[in-house]
Amino acid sequence: MLKVGVLVSGGGTNLQAILDAIDNGTVTNAKVCMVLSNNPKAYALERARKHGIPAECVSPKDFPDRAAFHAALLEKVDSYGLDLIVLAGFLVKVPEEMIRRYRNRIINIHPSLIPSFCGVGYYGLKVHEAALARGVKITGATVHFVDEGMDSGPILLQKAVEVHEGDTPERLQRRVMEEAEWKLLPMAIDLIANHKLEGSDGK
């Protein structure tokens, strides 16, 4: 059974998609063992509690500096003995020590077809604003392993989503979530849990 930890900063719609997929059997051999947020008001924590999952908050505001925050974050994650860490809208750069310790065991969902509209500054609605400003006809989402760069780790899965005439960033964001993100992230977890994804260390 793959022990999964989900790190999230906001509402947790991707977390909900994972929980639903586990509940309905789309994802097998995996269990979400903890949900952690840097934001004490993140609704994702409430979603976790409703599901009987430990909900943790480690906020940088509670520490004197970034090094102390990183140390506390890593200690909390380590305490759960996780096999896989899923970044599902986690708006904090993961410390390099965590990346080294969990090499090829941290995945992230990004709301574009990497290498388009990714890297520093591209998160949330900003990604969709940039896609619309550029006039692309196709966007999508990408699941990738996390390395020391920003959105630069090996790509695992991608799914394309059409851009429609008259799309707003909010409308496009919703379609990318519904058609790509909420499908790709559970799929990646299932593939890793069942040893069907090269490069993963699923147990």
Among all residues, which ones are annotated catalytic? 110
- On whether the CB atoms of residues 33 and 80 are closer than 8 A, the answer is yes
- Supply 87's token pair: 């970044």
The two structure tokens encoding residue 199: 């490069």
Q: Which residues contact 23 (CB under 8 A, 6 or more apart)?
A: none
* Burial of 120 from C-beta contacts in 10 A (0-12 / 13-18 / 19+): exposed
Q: How far apart are CA 178 and CA 197, in angstroms?
A: 23
Residue 111 near residue 87 (C-beta atoms within 8 A): no
Tokens of 52: 């009987």
Are the C-beta atoms of 114 and 33 separated by less than 8 Å? no
Q: At 84, list the tokens.
A: 């896989």
